[in-house]
Chain A
């Protein structure tokens, strides 16, 4: 069981917006602005999409945005495109000895 809770799947249509939630505790998500999001395609290197809750690395589309409220962080993808279909994982710094914890991942399907 992962430390952070994400929905197992989310579905959207091209052009729509979707939001993936990531729920933790005050020891991780709620306690620090150190949430990041990763995009995973099978057999490929994971890609950093968002860091420090809402910062986008250079080269990441501005269709991807992040936010946080209390113990829940969110990744929003606007203007969905077919190539956005992938697995998305959130992570957070944690005050425990684990240092970094991840969510269980969300499979995004673009119909």
Chain B
């Protein structure tokens, strides 16, 4: 059974940093592109970033470029999102998701999400 479990969310002040983690199991993690998708309170879903199987290609939504870094450790079956210079508008539930299709365009498995709140 495919499982994705996020952790690392919490309350952080504007300008602060947070690192999210996603533990994957039930599939060959190193064989898939992975993504982070977020949902702000009362808003729709927004794709944030994705990373190739070997970690050598990464893409970001414009609003987080230069502030967020996606990474992975295939030996630990884990995906990460380092978030720096956080803003109030980054407040959201962050989901880890497995990316599919070529070009990448859908997500076949998701975690339950972890809440990030940016507030003073």
Interface size on B, residues (CB 8 A): 25
B62: shortest Cβ distance to chain A, in Å? 6
Cβ–Cβ contact B44 & A100, under 8 A: no
* Complex: chain B residue closest to A97, CB-CB: B62
Chain B 22-62, CB-CB to A under 8 Å as 1, else 0, gives: 00000000000000000000011111001000000001011
Q: Give Cα A2–Cα B43 distance, bound, in whole angstroms.
A: 8
| Interface of chain B: mostly helix, strand, loop or mixed | strand
B32: shortest Cβ distance to chain A, in Å? 14
Q: Which of A98, A102, A103 contacts B62 (CB 8 A)?
A: A98
For residue A93, CB closer than 8 A to chain B, the reply is yes
Interface size on A, residues (CB 8 A): 27
* Complex: chain B residue closest to A4, CB-CB: B44
B18: shortest Cβ distance to chain A, in Å? 20
Q: Which of B7-15, B77-85, B100-108 contacts A (4 or more CB under 8 A)?
A: B100-108
Cβ–Cβ contact B47 & A99, under 8 A: yes
Query: Chain A residues with Cβ under 8 A from B112's Cβ?
Result: 43-45
Cβ–Cβ contact A91 & B106, under 8 A: yes
Cβ–Cβ contact A57 & B108, under 8 A: yes
* Complex: chain B residue closest to A102, CB-CB: B45
For residue B4, CB closer than 8 A to chain A, the reply is yes
Q: Which of B43, B100, B110 contacts A45 (CB 8 A)?
A: B110
Q: Which of B46, B47, B95 contacts A46 (CB 8 A)?
A: B95
Known: A43-B112, A48-B108, A100-B106. 5 other contacts (CB 8 A): A46-B95, A51-B100, A98-B61, A102-B46, A105-B44
Q: Give 24 A-B contacts (CB < 8 Å), ordered by A residue.
A: A2-B44, A32-B105, A34-B101, A34-B105, A36-B105, A36-B107, A44-B112, A45-B95, A45-B112, A46-B110, A48-B106, A48-B109, A52-B106, A91-B45, A92-B105, A93-B104, A93-B105, A98-B62, A99-B59, A99-B104, A99-B105, A100-B104, A100-B105, A104-B44
